[in-house]
Amino acid sequence: MSVKVLEEKTIHRQGNIDFVVQQIELPNSNGKVIQKIVMRHPGAVAMIPLTDDGDVILVDQYRFAAAQNTLEIPAGTLEPGEDPIVCAQRELQEEAGYFPGELVHLGEIFVAPGITDERIQLYLARDLHSSHLPADEDEMIQVVRMPFSEAITQIQSGKIRDAKTIIGLLQAQQHLAGN
Catalytic residue (one of 7, 118, 137, 139): 137
Q: Which amino acid is at 58?
A: L
Q: Rounded to an integer, what distance in angstroms lies between the CA atom of residue 6 and that of residue 33? A: 9
Closest by CA position to 97, among listed 134, 60, 61: 134
- Catalytic, 7? Answer no
3-state secondary structure 59-104: EEEEECCCCEEEEECCEEECCCCCCHHHHHHHHHHHHCCEEEEEEE
Tell me the catalytic residues. 137
